[in-house]
Amino acid sequence: MAEFLLGAAAFVVAMVAVGLLRLLRGPANTDRMMAGQLLGTGGIAALLLLAAATNIPGVMDVALALALLAAFSSVAFVMSAS
């Protein structure tokens, strides 16, 4: 089961990595921020899967902190852009 969860985490990170092409390509900065947002969600999912696969204590708290701050940089981006 640990293998499967780790594989799923790897797949999510790979998907998000492909999504980062949007970060490189743009065209607008809003599109780039979307790629960042997807990376955030994917990172949370990968962390949850890693936490279940490896049993390192506290990884779940990292995911919790990321989820709490997920909107933080996007809000700053929108507020400063307007």
Partner 1 sequence: MTLELVFDIGLAALVLTVATWTLLARETTAAVIGFVAYGLLLTLVWVRLAAVDVALTEAAIGSGMTGVLLLTAAARLRATEAVANAEQPGATLRVVAALLCVSVFAGLAGIVLLLPEPGPTLAPQAAANLGSTGLGNAVTAVLLSFRAIDTLLETVVLLLALLGVWSLAPDRVWGGRPGPQGNVQRDGVLVFLAQLLPPVGIVVAIHLFWVGADAPGGKFQAATILAAMWILAQQAGLTDAPPVDRRWLRLVLVAGPAAFLAVGFLGFAAAGAFLAYPAGYAKPLILFIEAALMPSIAATLALLVAGPPARTEPP
Partner 2 sequence: MTLVLDILTVVAVSAGVFFFLAGTVGLLRFPDSLSRLHALTKADNLGLGLVVLGLLPRADGPFGALKLIAVWLLAQLAGATVTQLLARAARTAEPQE
Q: Is 57 helix (H, G, I), strand (E, B) or coil?
A: coil
Considering only residues 14-43, where is the footprint of partner 1 by CB under 8 A?
14, 17, 20, 23-24, 26, 29, 32-33, 35-36, 39-40, 43
39, 16 contact by CB (below 8 A): yes
38, 23 contact by CB (below 8 A): no
DSSP designation for 28: S
Q: Which residues bind partner 1 (CB under 8 A)?
A: 3, 6-7, 9-10, 13-14, 17, 20, 23-24, 26, 29, 32-33, 35-36, 39-40, 43, 46-47, 50, 56-59, 61-62, 64-66, 68-69, 71-73, 75-77, 79-82
